[in-house]
Amino acid sequence: MSASSQTFRLAPKAGLGGEIDRDKPLRFTFNGKSYQGYAGDTLASALLANGVDVVNRSFKYSRPRGVVAAGAEEPNAIVQLGASEAAQVPNVRATQQALYEGLSARGTNGWPDAQRDMMSLVGKFGGPFMPVGFYYKTFKAPASLWMTYEKYIRKAAGLGRAPGESDPDIYDHMNRHCEVLVVGAGPAGLMAALTAAAGGVRVILCDEQETFGGSLRDRDETIDGLPAPEWARQTIERLAAMANVTLLPRTTANGYHDHNFVTLHERRTEHLGDTAPMVDGRRRSRSRLHRVRARHVVLASGAHERPLVYAGNDVPGNLLAGAVSSYIRRYAVMPGRRLVLSVTNDHAYRAALDWQAAGGEVVAIADARANPDGELVERARAAGIRVIAGSAVIEATSDRKGHRVNGARVAAIDIEGFRLSGEAEVLACDTIASSGGYSPVAHLAAHTGIRPVWRDDILGFVPGQAVDPVKGFSVVGGAAGVYALPALLEGAAVKVTQALAADGIHVDASEPPAVESIREGEAIGLYHVPHDKPTMRAPKQFVDLQNDVTAAAIELATIEGFESIEHVKRYTAMGFGTDQGKLGNINGMAIAARCLGQTIPETGTTVFRPNYTPVNFGAIVGRHCKELFEPERYTAMHQWHVAHGAKFEDVGQWKRPWYYPQRVNGKLESMHEAVARECLAVREKVGVLDASTLGKIDIQGPDAREFLGRIYTNGWEKLAVGKARYGLMCKDDGMVMDDGVTTCLGDNHFLMTTTTGGAAAILEWLEIWHQTEWPELEVYFTSVTDHWATMTLTGPEARNLLAELTDVDLDRDSFKFMEWREGVVAGVPARIYRISFTGELSFEINVQANYAMQVWESLFAHGNKYGLTPYGTETMHVLRAEKGFIIVGQDTDGSMTPEDLGMHWCVGYKKPYSWIGKRALTRSDTRREDRKQLVGLKPLEADVVLEEGAQIVFDPKQAIPMRMVGHVTSSYYSPTLERGFALAVVKGGHKRLGERVYLPMADGKTHAAEIVSPIFYDPQGSRQNV
Amino acid sequence: MSKVVQFDPHPAQAAATQSPLHHVAAKPAVGETGVTLTERAFLDHLIVRGEPGVLAGAVEAVLGLELPTQPQRLARNETGSLQWLSPDEWLLIVAGGEGFRLQRELREALGEAHFSIVDVGGGQTLLELSGKHAVEVLMKSTVYDVDPRHFPVGKGVTSVFAKATAVIRRVDESRWELVVRRSFADYCLRWLLDAGEEYGIAHQPTQPAVASHRQTVTDTETVS
Amino acid sequence: MFHIYCPYCAEYREEEEFHPRGQAHIARPADPEATSDDAWGDYLFFRDNPRGVHHELWVHAVGCRKFFNITRDTRSYAILETYRMGERPTVTANGPEAVPSATATLTGALA
Amino acid sequence: MQRYSGFSLVKHALSHHENWQRHWRNPTPKKEYDVIIVGGGGHGLATAYYLAKEHDITNVAVIEKGWLGGGNTARNTTIVRSNYLWDEAAALYEHAMKLWEGLSQDLNYNVMFSQRGVLNLGHTLQDMRDIQRRVNANRLNGIDGEVVTPQQIKEIEPALDTSERARYPILGASWQPRGGVARHDAVAWGFARGADALGVDLLQQTEVTGFKILDGKVVGVHTNRGDIGAKTVGCVAAGNSGVLAGMAGFKLPLESHPLQALVSEPLKPILNTVTMSNQVHGYISQSDKGDLVIGAGIDGYLGYGQRGSYPTIEHTLQAIVEMFPIFSRVRMNRQWGGIVDTTPDACPIISRTPVRGLYFNCGWGTGGFKATPGSGNVFAWTLAHGQAHPLAAPFSIDRFRTGALIDEHGAAGVAH
Ligand SMILES: Cc1cc2nc3c(=O)[nH]c(=O)nc-3n(C[C@H](O)[C@H](O)[C@H](O)COP(=O)(O)OP(=O)(O)OC[C@H]3O[C@@H](n4cnc5c(N)ncnc54)[C@H](O)[C@@H]3O)c2cc1C
Ligand SMILES: NC(=O)c1ccc[n+]([C@@H]2O[C@H](COP(=O)([O-])OP(=O)(O)OC[C@H]3O[C@@H](n4cnc5c(N)ncnc54)[C@H](O)[C@@H]3O)[C@@H](O)[C@H]2O)c1
Ligand SMILES: Cc1cc2nc3c(=O)[nH]c(=O)nc-3n(C[C@H](O)[C@H](O)[C@H](O)COP(=O)(O)O)c2cc1C
Ligand SMILES: [Zn+2]
């Protein structure tokens, strides 16, 4: 394709096409066909330049659709972007997609493509049977067929498609803080930023478009003697030179959150290619989310033009008036040859003037006002343009396929009476541009709950009063309904000056630039153009183009009793699309208001929500994905575990060795085999566990002991220095929340251990009680979880092995069970605790983590002859379960009291202070005898390992629903006992030892088991006490 | 003051040590170096808790530092640095091996008062970030306002760092320090290398390469 | 997302550094054993839930680790004040929309 | 009531759809009703419907301060399932599930209940224990469900990353085939239309501002449109229940939190089922319109603003992209929030109150949409009989005093 395909591109001329670079032609494909455009084009402008009318098919009726707008409000030109599978981007607005070499896009709807769509037949012939809400009324019978119907409904759903492969690009976030954030870099935003910057404070100015300048890019007024686009360019340069100003072009403010937190989405490479190009061999993010906390937010987001709603207003060739100017002035593209303009205001006359100046034919301007008389009207008349006062385009006619406008029916209208007041005249044309007025972009303000307020003078909603009294917020320019350039520039400067003054920052508000002012006549409100037929019978008049919501649909919704605008929205899907109703909502609300006999403010608006324009998930996720999705916490021995083939278990964020499969006869052990080997090694020889992940809290202060007594269920007043004790913690509802061993290091000094998962929560638990309830207790808590590396050496040979490495006297009488000692292990100062979670003779060696590997490796250097075996959490679980030791969170679920666990020995009912959890234990429900209680289960068949989570019944013969009396909490095969065994909770279980229970399983089998004591191994505890 | 035991974690003879990041190799920047990341491992870190009125005198006497009582202040001298963490909590970082002696001297100076000093040196490490893009890397990582206008030299805060937490301090015009927990160090490092890639980030191996062993061998570990 | 002034750090910090911990000023009954089951249930589970001014407990979890109180409007999310533990709020509900902390409780009513 | 059918659509097409009747009337309030339902969400409307349909009590008003179904009913992610852990909860939600299965026909209104199945993923060993426990309990309670392997999961939902790459690889899931989603607005409208047709007055834009209580018994309500008398009042006001209880002079063990959700832009069909994960913390399904409907957990503070904090949205999407890396380039269209009334045990409160004649049905928190027909059904029974329906009895406020909580946090770990 050559440049000559760009039949709608204007010849070079001063003031036209300021944003394209004709020296940089770019090739792109659309629906598989190749075209050419220029650097600086948007995909939309390039398509228009090439005379592509149909860019997509509509959602419900599959009607051909063309470009209507030039910015974020575009509802039709929604394309699927991307040449490769991984680079697919669904639902890109062609009006906001910069052209790049090799860009490949297709319309999102239409089969085989938008031009030759087959689905349109359904739309054409099915349309009459698909009024708003039709699916609620049908597809109900027979009930069994609904899922089939739904499959077809779904097929028709959706716009673009998700990529089939993972995103090759990366995204990132930048946290920013500033005194003034200005959203929108049109005249108002530029002026606001200039003023704020003069105050020396940090200013961020962002604009969603490729280029700063906003509406100035489409204007020919002079500002300070410069053409508007030139003034904008120079102002931007001034700002760029200031150190306190950050300029973010191509950056959309998407969400305005509480307390002036604003998310800005900066598209950094989308204009360069499908995927982000590398720079100097380094990756860069495709887009970046700026998370901005601003002292003051200035909304300078301008106003969106409202199209008029008339029959056939969706056929390609119907555009917004302002968009016509934008395409001509920015891109030197004529979106047609012969224009009919239908307006309600002076401002939109520019479209006709621009059209004519560019060499197009202006057939007529239909002006809904009886006596238009502003300066621009006069200019148009003077230029020989026919102005038909008191009229509007009531219908666009089109070619047979509906691919392009071929005429406009213009008629005199009676707005008040909502009817025609004259005969319609047909004007041949290929383009209809309309302007029904302007809606201030109040979206962002609404995000934080600022309700829009209707203003009769400007015929639009503007943001209301801010709700947060602390943070600053102001609205300037078009967003505030201030449209005249002089007033808008001055207003922006004044508002920002005042805002800064409130913070004690003084700026000398420099004279606003001199602008010629243009006298504008008063605009008139027109939201729905009457037709010769009643709305329900007229050809479709579209309100929401993307969702195919017509004026008739809105009327029908109100007929059917949907009187709230929120109901209308949900019944018709108005504003649900990717454009969120930027174009159609206000018209739709006004139509609903008329149908209901209300005023527009009575009917009100629906709620604007983030995002202002859609943002891809990846950008919101930033770098919190893949390997950085969530931290992996490592112990000091982690690399050793990796090197020794450990399989890991996720416990909270920690990676814990789960088991260490060995290669036996060339084959890697299964978990079952590895665990059996590890278990036997511990029971018969010696094993070592990396227990570093247990939470550890250093507690110091004269009231430390008292504090422990209040927090734990059991007593601490008598625990002597040098001793350790197991403790149980409850919440104040009496339910067990954590456990662990706490050691008395000194009279005022304890070391508490917690479960791995509970560490952070328990530290906060201690703090909350201390800080809020018992501030008088003199005690401090400090986490030392990461400081200490912990190795549990356990098994009959533990003492012999450790003795080789330490100076501590390990003799059973001098270093007793539940005591701790300090000494040196493998040359490293250590604290050794004689506590046991396996039931075997155990020594927990704690050293400062940097020295851990020295000790760990020394253990192995000396341990071989004792059969030292590393073991993981699975083996630990088997061993502790054989001993009936609970795991909080596995054998408990937040509904178990210490009594339920059979741990009354760990409850100090006589303690003077009513410790946390005590009172709740005497409530009627916690005193019930038939509570679920922890017991052991012995499957009758020894080789059966019950399923963890299996439900228990007393009577296996009963019908479903069965009465369940408990469930299995822990269940393993014990290589020591050579049988399966389990811990379980059973109603009244403590009094049912010896009874039989049943476990009916999914495979139809029912297992039988005997209720036994939860201690399966060495009930006297003689092995740990040797 | 007798009822608290103190523990010197360092061996009497040099022992093999591993910093939390020992397993991560040095890596030069791709292209021009815009940020340099260096681990300052094996320092002694102590958490000192108590009322300012209780601590100030002893701190001044033992460390020669004025206890920073203003929030977010970081005081430094040749002995080390002392950072405000909360109204009754400070982070003291000194040369590896010095912690035990200083703790003992502080304990002696503080006598029977209510306070707490806890050695956390094995549990955290210090990363130094320098170079002209260091601030941007931080902006990608923490919600705290690290703009030099808001974060002058001599400030230190605890804040969110990626999905972990970090103590963030500005030690001079060009250098920032991050104190991160040992178990999160690998994650934080990977995060930083990724965040810094576009600026050209160099990672230098652990400094110093070996830990100093015990400075003064005391006769008894328990101060009583 | 909230911007919260920590009264201990004496500056505004981002919400991500904090955790809300429920209603402020909930005192544990001084003598639990003398407290009825109903009153204990109230203490455990029954909280003010006003649409309007609310006093709540927060912790500067990733920061100074101190608990403190916030008076906040649960409709607008505006933070009206923050104050330290042990202090009393200076802003309280008295606007017509604010819901007073219910005085009558359910004690015994369902028996 | 005008019957809806494919035939009626054709018929009305001929008259240009000008003759459709209203879904419901817009009546002027009567002086007094036998029963007033406060709250015109799904639950309140269902209550009114079943009162009229099953108990012949038709002198009923539903009083709604805004628009029908505009509370959480309008805001929820529409997941329907009944695989709850504890017997009491399972029975209640399964009761609802059975009603769902015939609801479109019963209401003559297509609520688009789509039984596309629900996956609850397990990523840790404890997740799997909990899943097995729940599925076993469900099975013995007669509720469908099975534990599925990663391979089976991949077949059910190919878009899901079931590989070992994940930070928390998927170890398995529970799978309830009868679970799914429904068109939330249609549920409210269907019940409203059904109730209206049976004579119930639906009073919109009418806010209850207080209760008229005589000698400890409720006799009516104050509203912004005047006082209305009632013999019995049932409050079904979700996030505003605490405020209403305050007006009646007592407290409820409720906290009203923001719960947020979001949708992507509409996409061509890509998801087959509903996928939920507690550990990675997010859930997702695709609506019949094509948008991905996504949610996760509540914001921790009280909030009546119908919006929450941004980090919650960030975390939610991190989870979604972790589970579905191919969605990285899919775009988020809109986010919003509701006000959920959470209880200490994540189970609802269906209960008498200290005021005679005044009943509350609330505390459905993050997961009551799925209960809508069941909740309305048992509450209607309760109001009609003046005593708790057997399925509702365990959900009395008493439990917070006795300690007999029904802790469903496990089942509701990720809000749904
Ligand atoms: C984001 C989100 C996602 C969710 N996802 C799911 C899900 O996937 N599955 C699921 O099962 N559940 C889900 N839920 C929960 C579910 O939405 C609710 O439990 C359920 O909709 C509650 O219905 P309701 O009728 O009780 O309440 P609502 O629909 O909230 O209705 C209560 C009504 O009471 C009205 N009201 C309040 N005060 C007054 C007054 N004083 N006078 C008059 N009227 C009053 C309100 O305006 C409102 O319309 C979700 C909730 C949210 C917010
Ligand atoms: N006289 C009239 O009737 C009339 C009507 C409409 C517009 N106007 C003209 O419009 C102009 C208004 O000036 P202005 O500065 O207020 O608006 P503007 O339209 O010139 O600039 C607003 C800018 O904000 C950007 N923007 C909007 N939302 C954004 C977001 N969320 N994130 C980032 N950027 C965003 C837009 O892309 C645009 O560039 C004036 O020139 C005025 O004359 C006049
Ligand atoms: C299941 C479900 C799907 C939704 N899909 C869309 C959607 O496709 N487009 C859209 O704009 N909003 C969608 N919404 C959100 C609504 O627009 C709206 O935000 C929500 O009902 C809350 O109301 P509010 O935002 O008016 O307060 C959806 C909501 C729900 C509950
Ligand atoms: Zn703080």
Residues 240-269 of D with CB under 8 A from C: 240, 242-243, 245-247, 249-256
Q: What domain range includes position A183?
A: 172-303+440-501
Closest ligand 3 atom, residue D306 Cα: 27
The pairing of strands A405-414 and A419-420 is antiparallel
For chain A, what is the domain count? 6
When pLDDT is averaged across residues C39-62 and rounded to a whole number, the result is 96
- The candidate with the shortest Cα–Cα distance to B11, out of A825, A822, A784, is A825
> Domain check: are A871 and A1020 in the same one?
no
The last residue of one of the domains, among A436, A451, A471, is A436
| B183 in any annotated domain | yes
Please tell me the predicted confidence (pLDDT) of residue A155: 83
Q: Could B16 and A635 be called an inter-chain contact, meaning their C-beta atoms sit closer than 8 Å? A: no
From the list A175, A827, A848, the residue facing B9 with the nearest CB is: A848
Out of D291, D292, D332, give the residue to mutate to test ligand 3, the one with the largest number of ligand atoms within 8 Å of its CB: D291
The count of other CB atoms within 10 Å of the CB of residue D18 is: 14
pLDDT tens profile A172-206: 999 999 999 999 999 999 999 999 999 999 999 99
> Domain check: are A299 and A200 in the same one?
yes
> Domain check: are A913 and A769 in the same one?
yes
> Domain check: are A751 and A797 in the same one?
no
> Domain check: are A684 and A717 in the same one?
no
Please tell me the predicted confidence (pLDDT) of residue C107: 32
Predicted structure pTM score:
0.97
| A717 in any annotated domain | yes
Task: Determine if ligand 3 sits within 6 Å of the CB of residue D306.
Answer: yes
Assign A353 to helix, strand or coil.
helix
Q: Examine the pLDDT at C110 and tell me if it is beyond 80.
A: no
Task: Determine if ligand 1 sits within 6 Å of the CB of residue D341.
Answer: no
When pLDDT is averaged across residues A352-364 and rounded to a whole number, the result is 97
Task: Determine if ligand 1 sits within 6 Å of the CB of residue D190.
Answer: no
pLDDT tens profile B172-210: 998 999 999 999 999 999 999 999 999 999 999 876 656
| A936 in any annotated domain | yes
Residue A245 structure tokens: 């100003």
Q: Could A914 and C31 be called an inter-chain contact, meaning their C-beta atoms sit closer than 8 Å? A: yes
Out of D202, D366, D375, D395, give the residue to mutate to test ligand 1, the one with the largest number of ligand atoms within 8 Å of its CB: D366
The count of other CB atoms within 10 Å of the CB of residue A4 is: 8
| B137 in any annotated domain | yes
Taking the centre of ligand 3 as the mean of its atom positions, its distance from the CA of residue C75, in whole angstroms, is 21
Query: Which chains are adjacent to chain D, needing at least 3 Cβ pairs under 8 Å?
Result: A, C
> Domain check: are A791 and A681 in the same one?
yes
Domains and CATH numbers, chain C: 2-110 (3.30.2270.10)
- The reply to whether A624 touches chain C by the CB within 8 Å rule is no
Closest ligand 2 atom, residue A253 Cα: 32
Q: Examine the pLDDT at A321 and tell me if it is beyond 80.
A: yes
CATH number at residue B101: 3.30.1360.120
ipTM of this complex prediction, to 2 decimal places: 0.96
Residues 106-135 of B with CB under 8 A from A: 114-124
Minimum CA distance residue for ligand 1 atom 7: D416
A560 to chain D: closest CA residue: D22
Please tell me the predicted confidence (pLDDT) of residue B214: 61
Per-residue DSSP letters for A716-746? -TTPPTTBEEEEEEE-TTS-EEEEEEEEEEE
N-to-C CA span, chain C: 44
- Ion ligand 4: residues, CB within 5 A, are C 6, 8-9, 60, 63-64
| B20 in any annotated domain | no
| B21 in any annotated domain | no
Q: Are A839 and A1024 in contact (CB under 8 A)?
A: yes
Share of chain A above pLDDT 90, in %: 91
For chain B, what is the domain count? 1
pLDDT tens profile C83-95: 999 999 999 987 4
Q: Binning pLDDT at 50, 70 and 90, where does residue A3 land? A: low
Which residues of C fall within a CB distance of 8 Å from B151?
A: none
| B201 in any annotated domain | yes
CATH number at residue A56: 3.10.20.440
> Domain check: are A334 and A379 in the same one?
yes
| B1 in any annotated domain | no
Please tell me the predicted confidence (pLDDT) of residue B15: 85
When pLDDT is averaged across residues B55-65 and rounded to a whole number, the result is 97
Which segments in chain D show pLDDT lower than 70? 410-416
From the list D16, D23, D124, the residue facing A650 with the nearest CB is: D124
Closest ligand 2 atom, residue A476 Cα: 16
CATH number at residue A714: 3.30.70.1400
Task: Determine if ligand 1 sits within 6 Å of the CB of residue D161.
Answer: no
Q: Could A143 and D105 be called an inter-chain contact, meaning their C-beta atoms sit closer than 8 Å? A: yes
> Domain check: are A188 and A296 in the same one?
yes
Please tell me the predicted confidence (pLDDT) of residue D410: 63
Q: What domain range includes position B104?
A: 35-208
Residue A420 structure tokens: 């025609």
When pLDDT is averaged across residues A298-303 and rounded to a whole number, the result is 98
Those residues with Cβ within 8 angstroms of residue A1003's Cβ, 6 or more apart along the chain or in another chain: none
| A539 in any annotated domain | no
| A426 in any annotated domain | yes
pLDDT tens profile A230-282: 999 999 999 999 999 999 999 999 999 999 999 999 999 999 999 999 998 99
Q: Examine the pLDDT at C99 and tell me if it is beyond 60.
A: no
D205 CA: distance to closest CA in chain A (Å):
9
Which residues of D fall within a CB distance of 8 Å from A629?
A: 167, 318, 322
Of all ligands present, the nearest one to the C-alpha of D368 is: 1
> Domain check: are A828 and A684 in the same one?
yes
Closest ligand 2 atom, residue A484 Cα: 43
| B113 in any annotated domain | yes
The phi, psi pair for A86, rounded to 5°, reads: -70, -25
CATH number at residue A815: 3.30.1360.120
Taking the centre of ligand 4 as the mean of its atom positions, its distance from the CA of residue C18, in whole angstroms, is 9
| B177 in any annotated domain | yes
Q: Binning pLDDT at 50, 70 and 90, where does residue A149 land? A: confident
Q: Examine the pLDDT at A791 and tell me if it is beyond 80.
A: yes
> Domain check: are A771 and A792 in the same one?
no
Closest ligand 1 atom, residue D338 Cα: 53
Query: Which chains are adjacent to chain C, needing at least 3 Cβ pairs under 8 Å?
Result: A, B, D
Please tell me the predicted confidence (pLDDT) of residue A696: 98
pLDDT tens profile A420-432: 999 999 999 999 9
Q: What is the mean pLDDT of chain A?
A: 95
> Domain check: are A192 and A264 in the same one?
yes
Q: What is the 3-state secondary structure (H, E, C) of chain D?
A: CCCCCHHHHHHHHHCCCCCCCCCCCCCCCCCEEEEEEECCCHHHHHHHHHHHHHHCCCCEEEECCCCCCCCHHHCCCCEECCCCCCHHHHHHHHHHHHHHCCHHHHHCCCCCCECCCEEEEECCHHHHHHHHHHHHHHHHCCCCCEEECHHHHHHHCCCCCCCCCCCCCCCEEEEECCCEECCHHHHHHHHHHHHHHCCCEEECCCCEEEEEEECCEEEEEEECCEEEEEEEEEECCHHHHHHHHHHHCCCCCCEEEEEEEEEEEEECCCCCCEEEECCCCEEEEECCCCEEEEEEEECCCCCCCCCCCHHHHHHHHHHHHHHCHHHCCCEEEEEEEEEEEECCCCCCEEEECCCECEEEEECCCCCCHHHHHHHHHHHHHHHHHCCCCCCCHHHCCCHHHHCCCCCCCCCCCCCC
Q: What is the mean pLDDT of chain D?
A: 96
CATH number at residue A280: 3.50.50.60
Q: Examine the pLDDT at B213 and tell me if it is beyond 80.
A: no
The last residue of one of the domains, among A871, A888, A905, is A888
Q: Could A773 and C28 be called an inter-chain contact, meaning their C-beta atoms sit closer than 8 Å? A: yes
- The reply to whether C10 touches chain D by the CB within 8 Å rule is no
> Domain check: are A232 and A290 in the same one?
yes
Q: Could D22 and A1002 be called an inter-chain contact, meaning their C-beta atoms sit closer than 8 Å? A: no
Q: Binning pLDDT at 50, 70 and 90, where does residue C98 land? A: very low
| A766 in any annotated domain | yes
